[in-house]
Amino acid sequence: MPSVRQICETLGFNKSGLYYQPKIDASEEVLRTEIQRLAAEYPMYGYQRITKLLLHMGYTVGYKRVVRLMKEANLSVSIKRICQTTTSIEGTHPWVNRLEKLEVSRCDQVWGGDITYVRLKAHFVYVSLLMDVFTRRIRGWQVSQHRPNR
């Protein structure tokens, strides 16, 4: 009669694999209920903030584990970003928001623009964008250097 060692060698298995019993982490359930409690208390918090809260509470946990547990419990947060125009009411001649009551229903009906300054290591650059509001596609852009007055 062949031994267990001979059978494992023939099949290409490790003998220790036959005796392996996966450990069930008892803290997994505790962590799962704590994540559900925190997600109910802070419904807008994602996995990063939940992980920070758990670490602050004294749990030893990584963000990958929190992501997995939140996905299993269907607690992932999706935030809808709102497009909002600026309303200017200050100054001697306040600007009227002409887009407030306009329903944008076709391409090239309304374009919006913006200028953003980006600080680099030694200087600033600015990025200017021109975007079609309906399709949300960038119609034009430019990047230029700008050095502040010293």
- Radius of gyration over every alpha carbon of the chain, rounded to an integer in angstroms: 29
| 63 pLDDT more than 80 | yes
DSSP state, 83?
A: -
3-class SS shares of the chain: helix, strand, coil, % to 5: 35, 20, 50
Answer positive or negative: Cα dihedral of 39, 44, 46, 51: negative
Per-residue pLDDT of 94-147, as tens digits, reads 677 778 888 888 898 999 888 888 888 877 888 889 999 888 899 999 888 854
**Residue range 83-87: mean pLDDT, rounded:** 59
Helix, strand or coil, per DSSP, at residue 3:
coil
Q: Given this model, what pLDDT does residue 23 score? A: 61
Distance (Å) of CA 144 to CA 37, 106, 125, 133, 136 = 49, 31, 6, 24, 23
For the chain, give the mean pLDDT.
82
d(CA 5, CA 2): 8
Cα angle for residues 93, 131, 136 (degrees, 5° grid): 120
Helix, strand or coil, per DSSP, at residue 124:
strand
